[in-house]
Chains A and B, each alone.
Chain A
Amino acid sequence: MLKKLALSVTLACLTAAASAQEPKTGGVINAVIQPEPPGLMLALIQNGPTQMVSGNIFEGLLRYGPKLEPLPGLAESWTISEDAKVYTFKLKPGVTWHDGKPFTSADVLFSIEMLKQTHARARGNLGQLEKVEAPDDLTVVFTLKQPFGPFIGIFEVGSLPMVPKHLYEGTDFKTNPNNNTPVGTGPFMFKEWQKGSFIRLVKNPNYHVKGKPYLDEIYWQIIPDAAARAVAYETGKVDVLPGGSVENFDVPRLSKLANTCVTGAGWEFFSPLAWLWLNNRAGPTSNKKIRQAIMYAIDRNFAKDVIWNGLGKVATGPSASTIKFYTDDVPKYPYDPAKAKALLKEAGYNGEKVRLMPLPYGETWQRWGEAVKQNLMDAGMNIETIATDVPGSNQRIGDWDYDISFTYLYQYGDPALGVGRNYVSSQIMKGQQFNNVEGYSNPEIDKLFAEGANATPDSKRKEIYEKAQKILVEDVPVAWMLELQFPTITRCKVKNLITTAIGVNDGFRDAWVDK
């Protein structure tokens, strides 16, 4: 059954890619959004649901294909200087904001300055920026302090959304009334939000891509319970369940419903990778041999096949296989309880209590926590499960108050953006959940990631990151589990929904309904 599901996902992907029907205009899509976004102003709020809805309203300079290749967005072309320090973007002419005002390079300059204040990830990504200039209305020139390999990858809508200067300049960004009725350049315009029920977007008739969008309206329906979301799909009330909308154990059942298509595409940019934080500072997990024993003790194929219903891939190391410079030429840790026991013995482990904190993200994660606990106990470890809610879990991770803790993080396409932060010692800072939480410190790794970010050309970066992956996998600072796959479930009449590496977060501009 699991193989069948995996096959159907693959087939669905292929079918989607091969679909070459003539798009039809008109129609409405009902999609699920969960949880309800706190607001839709993407420059101020960057959580998942905000990005998913606002990806239709706002746009970035670039989009990215499934192989993370840059595609035109609000910029129609771009050039990179030979020394890889100057990036020149030519903006698309004739683009207007939803209120009819033209989109120009002044908006780009303003957006950069605003995002440096309001968007934590953008602030990090723009750390290497020396200056940004606008020689004319349709040209923007970014000059970097030094070459920064992943720079061309930071322009998607969630990472660097464009903001209308004429509505935000000189205002208090947080209380600007336009936050409640966001104005972007995207294919859909904000129309209505009934709190607790739905968000309604309508077609932008002046969208800059001729003939698009095809749909008239999108209703994002807010349904807080995972089982109720599954029923809403089952009873025909919604047509699109974005990845992660339903519990994983419901995916096989829903996939078998008539007129249902499933795809795992659209996560290439995020590449969610799940692992266990292992506290490198104190307790049994500070011992490298015990950390290696943990890798051998956990049956990750079981987790993939049973808990995640065959979706996803067993992780080989700190990089997901979908991001740049990935290598699987690293030490391997197959499921081997005997080896785990031997390593524990060798390390002198004598039954000290180890606290395991599962992710409080619903049933699937709870079950995974139980399976890992069982694996570790079978190998002879004394495991105590700590139950928390989301804020409690964030707090404990930020305070380093754990021994083993589940997490999954996005990798944003490039090791300099989404991998290095978890292993370099400059990122050991209390009170945070996405940095070097485990407290691993290795000068060689620090050096490699510092070099990798600024090295040119890509072949040099590849060499550096491959070396870093080998060292990390040998040291096991954290226990890598799975490359997660969150399948998007749709009615088959919904076509072309996912066309880029950020999937449904990139808006429904290409989607159409086959009536």
Chain B
Amino acid sequence: MLSFVAQRIVKGVIVLLAIIVLNFFLIRLAPGDPAVVMAGEAGASDQVFVKQLREKFGLDRPLPEQLFIYVKGILSFDLGFSFRQQAPVSKLILERLPATLLLTMTAFAISLVLGILFGTLAARWAGTWLDTAITAMALVFYATPLFWIALMAILLFSVTLDWLPSFGYETIGARHTGFARVLDIGAHLIMPAMTIGLFFMATYTRMTRASMLEVKRLDFVKTARAKGLSDRVIQRRHVLRNALLPVVTLAGLHTGTLVGGAVLTETVFAWPGIGRLMYEALIQRDYNLLLGVFVVCSAMVLIFNLVTDLVYRMVDPRIQYSA
């Protein structure tokens, strides 16, 4: 298994480098550059100013040279300097990463637990009113745009009912400590986490239901039933365990993308995470920051893919590792 992990890591590094090179050029295909944006924001854009900025950022150098400098930096774990924020990219990302991880992991946990629960219930009572209700709910959350759910949640829970705070990570100026702070952050977390979680929950519900119904028809389930096992044991040990394989695959893919995928939610709820940082870097053409976020997100996807492969074996011992 160790050699499997080692080989996957080597392959992962190669993929990461390829992603960096591709993104490096892709970002530069978009019109405008950081010097133009910053000159625009300054309300003055004489040629000296724009030229100064381009020289400062190294944008006046040939593209291959810029790429070489960037990759050289990456190899020594230096993600570069943010043009606009005037700070090292790694510092900016590390500042924001905890908030995003808290948000997305909470959302992920909610979606996975509820998704599998609802999916199992729907499959167990397929064709009944419960199945119809769960399927309809899943369809609604699957099809409704995130931002709309977010805005409606704010309208209901913040403006009308005044139960939950509408924005931010914690109450600014309250300076809570200890458990009071945990509760405060928790209150701020509910709406954004549910907003992201509901979509993924819907996906897992549908996937679990479909997969369980398919597994139910297989011969080994009949054998288990013939052996006289109780329905509960059959559902849990035989059907659910086998049906979870595609859900694990999907969840593994989602976990990686969740890191950078919370852009809309973080924006609507003013959650100080990495998704917002990425969006701001994009509209400001802050190349290094944007690339840095891409590198971190790609690394996350690769890491979680590896973890998914390892979890596979726990779920299904029949799977053998080969590089």
Of A223, A231, A410, A433, the residue contacting B158 (CB under 8 A) is: A231
Closest-by-CB residue of B relative to A236 is B162
Task: Tell me how many residue pairs across A and B have CB atoms closer than 8 Å.
Answer: 155
Q: Are A196 and B96 in contact (CB under 8 A)?
A: yes
CB of B49, distance to nearest CB on chain A (Å): 4
Distance of A307 Cα from B185 Cα, bound (Å)? 39
Query: For the complex, what is the distance from the CA of A328 to the CA of B175, rounded to whole Å?
Result: 55
Whether the Cβ atoms of A30 and B172 lie closer than 8 Å is: yes
- Find chain B residues with CB under 8 A from A398 CB: 36, 45
CB distance from A52 to the nearest CB of B (A): 13
Beta-carbon contacts under 8 Å, B222-278 to A = 267-273, 276-277
In the complex, the answer to whether A46 meets B173 with C-beta atoms within 8 Å is no
In the complex, the answer to whether B86 meets A174 with C-beta atoms within 8 Å is yes
Cα–Cα distance between A395 and B96 once the two chains are bound (Å): 30
Cα separation A481 to B43 with both chains bound (whole Å): 20
- What residues on A are CB-neighbors of B173 within 8 Å? 28, 30, 200, 217, 219
Asked if B216 is at the interface of the complex by the 8 Å CB criterion, the answer is no
Interface stretch among A66-74, A133-141, A385-393, A489-497? A385-393
The answer to whether A121 and B37 have CB atoms under 8 Å apart is: no
> Is A331 an interface residue, CB under 8 A from the partner?
no
Q: Is A225 an interface residue (CB 8 A)?
A: yes
Checking A36, A121, A197 against B280 with a beta-carbon cut-off of 8 angstroms, the contacting residue is A36
Given A120-B39, A225-B268, A231-B166: A434 and B86 within 8 A (CB)?
A: no
In the assembled complex, B33 has its CB within 8 A of some CB on chain A: yes
Q: Tell me which of A48, A197, A235 contacts B166 (CB under 8 A).
A: A235
Q: B32-59 CB contact bits vs A (8 Å, 1 = yes)?
A: 1100111111111111111000001000
Give Cα distance in the complex from A478 to B99, angstroms. Answer: 47
Residues from chain B with Cβ under 8 Å of A225 in the complex: 267-268, 270
Q: Which residues of B contact A227 (CB under 8 A)?
A: 151, 268
Residue of A nearest to B158 (CB): A235
B167 touches A231 (CB 8 A): yes
> CA–CA, A46 to B38, complex, Å?
9
Cβ of B201 within 8 Å of any chain A Cβ, yes or no, is no
State the CA gap A30–B85 with chains docked (Å).
23
Residues on the A chain within 8 Å of B285, using CB: 391
Closest CB of chain A to B84's CB: distance in Å?
Answer: 5
* B169 close to A121 (CB less than 8 A): no
Is A165 interfacial (CB-CB < 8 Å)?
no
CA distance A224 to B43 in the complex (A): 21
Residues of B within 8 A of A48 (CB): 41
Whether A224 and B267, one on each chain, are in contact in the complex, defined by CB atoms closer than 8 angstroms, is yes
Q: Let me know if B47 and A431 touch, CB within 8 A.
A: yes
Is chain A's binding surface mostly helix, strand, loop or mixed? Answer: mixed
Q: Is B168 in the interface zone, CB < 8 Å from A? A: yes
Q: Which residue on chain B has the smallest CB distance to residue A421?
A: B44
Whether the pair B41, A47 counts as a contact (CB closer than 8 A) is yes
Q: Are the C-beta atoms of B272 and A121 separated by less than 8 Å?
A: no
Chain A residue at smallest Cβ distance from B46: A120
Interface residues of B in 1-42 (CB under 8 A from A): 30-33, 36-42
A30–B151 Cα gap in the complex (Å)? 22
Known contacts A231-B158, A391-B36, A394-B32: does B272 contact A196 (CB below 8 Å)? yes
**Given contact pairs A196-B96, A224-B276, A391-B37, A121 touches B42 in the complex (Cβ within 8 A):** yes
- Tell me if B284 is interfacial: C-beta within 8 Å of chain A: yes
Known: A38-B84, A391-B32. A46 touches B158 (CB 8 A): no
User: Can you offer 27 A-B residue contacts whose CB atoms are under 8 A?
Assistant: A39-B85, A46-B41, A46-B44, A120-B39, A121-B44, A174-B56, A195-B96, A196-B273, A197-B172, A217-B173, A219-B173, A222-B270, A223-B270, A224-B267, A225-B267, A227-B268, A231-B154, A231-B159, A231-B167, A390-B32, A390-B40, A391-B30, A391-B32, A395-B32, A431-B36, A432-B46, A434-B44
Chain A: residues with CB nearer than 8 A to chain B? 28, 30, 35-36, 38-39, 45-48, 120-121, 123-124, 174, 179, 194-198, 200, 217, 219, 221-225, 227-228, 231-232, 234-235, 237, 388-396, 398, 409-410, 429, 431-435
8 residue pairs, one from A and one from B, having the closest CB atoms: A391-B32, A196-B272, A47-B41, A120-B44, A120-B49, A121-B44, A395-B32, A392-B31
Query: Given contacts A219-B173, A222-B272, A394-B32, could you give 14 more A-B pairs where the C-beta distance is less than 8 Å?
Result: A36-B280, A46-B42, A124-B44, A174-B56, A197-B169, A217-B173, A224-B276, A231-B167, A390-B40, A395-B31, A409-B43, A432-B39, A432-B47, A435-B45
B residues whose Cβ falls under 8 Å from a Cβ of A = 30-33, 36-50, 56, 84-86, 92, 95-96, 99, 151, 154-155, 158-159, 162, 165-169, 172-173, 267-273, 276-277, 279-280, 283-285
